[in-house]
Amino acid sequence: MVQGSTHETPEALIPFEVEVRAWLAEAMQDGLRFAWSAVWTTRDNDEEYAFRQSLGRRLGERGWLFPTYPVEYGGGGLTPEHQAIIETEMSRYGLRHAMVFYTLARIVAPCILKHGTDEQRRAFLPGLVRGEVVVWQVLTEPQSGSDVANVRTMAIRDGDEYVLDGQKIMVGSHHQPDYLWTLVNTDPAGKRHENLSWMYVPATSPGLTIRPMSMMMGIKNTVFFDGCRVPAANLVGGENSGWKVSSTHLELEHGGAGSIAGDPVVDHVLGRCLEQQPDGTALIDEEPVRAILADMLIETHINELLAARNYWLRLRRTPHPYGGVQYRYYERLLRLRNAERVQQLFGYEALVPRFDLHEDADLEHLVRAGPGQLHGGGTMDTDRLVMARRMGIGRSTKEDAPTTA
């Protein structure tokens, strides 16, 4: 296996591509029976999830879950080109590399790698990078969603521990975590943005309770901290320096990670419109249908280009100033427009779940996801605000986009 190079020619990458393709052909055999669930799902998919978690660990054993991360932390020590090969080959099976199974390691690991101490990197990264642990990000509180800095969950130092008290809502999934990555207030009397800290909290900690919440897009949870004691060594980035860590976290959550995966629902819609009906015609024969499809395909292609741009700029450590929120804002509007379009095309059929399809290709899931995912990770007003600040609108200085791992 090729390791350590900073650049590979296409010809030099062919053996690695062959290796990955052959490995996945074997590893995915037992998974071919699944119609994959979406990241935020309403399906009862415990058997599928067990397979996906096992696949994640197998990828992690080879260093392929975080291919560009240092070998000492469980990564592959490979180049961005190697990572793109792995992601492309996985997409052939309908799986997104960043979410093989439900864990937010793709956001948490970069934060720890960039802001953690050497001891914390050695202690926390291998489990995340090898897919051995599940971590949730735990941000939203009853009074603060998009206003991330308005944190009221307190973490007060008591010797070698912090004592946490407070509540988080609408987090996680129905698959239980090993750790919670959470933002807390470590200085109740301190200034806004200067009183925050990030903690890596074991989910088995006494005083921590998780209760499920049924929502339109699936299960989320409420988390209660009631005198929950967490080792001081699990505070990452320094006490009251959490806003600096948040810059890394939020850049990844707000679209800065990018993607090179496609959208299966568009292929499904096009296929449905090409199908011959009993009278020998097809939906695509109708001019209004072709007009809707053209808009859908063009806008989806634009979205994929924005995602791919951010993906490569992130891996090259040269982020676009406002590319993350630009992509996410466009994607959310596109998802909403596409939810309306499939109802125009297929009527009531778009409201009937298809459990034989990848959930991301299921029209009923899209109809819910259009409005249901407008608010995740902050509102669209948040996107516009961040974009304006990155462009220097309304301020004398521009905010810089942080580099992420």
* Domains of the chain from N-terminus onward: 10-101 (1.10.540), 135-240 (2.40.110.10), 258-391 (1.20.140.10)
Question: In the prediction, which pLDDT does 402 show?
Answer: 87
Question: In the prediction, which pLDDT does 54 show?
Answer: 97
Residue 2 predicted with pLDDT over 80: no
Q: What mean pLDDT do residues 192-209 have?
A: 97
Question: In the prediction, which pLDDT does 401 show?
Answer: 87
Q: What mean pLDDT do residues 197-226 have?
A: 95
pLDDT tens, residue by residue, 242-297: 999 999 999 999 999 999 988 899 999 999 999 988 899 999 999 999 999 999 99
- Phi/psi at 272 (5° precision): -65, -40
pLDDT tens, residue by residue, 60-77: 999 999 999 999 999 999
Band of pLDDT at residue 396, cut at 50, 70 and 90: confident
Question: In the prediction, which pLDDT does 144 show?
Answer: 84
Q: What mean pLDDT do residues 12-25 have?
A: 96
Question: In the prediction, which pLDDT does 7 show?
Answer: 61
Question: In the prediction, which pLDDT does 6 show?
Answer: 54
pLDDT tens, residue by residue, 128-146: 999 999 999 999 999 887 8
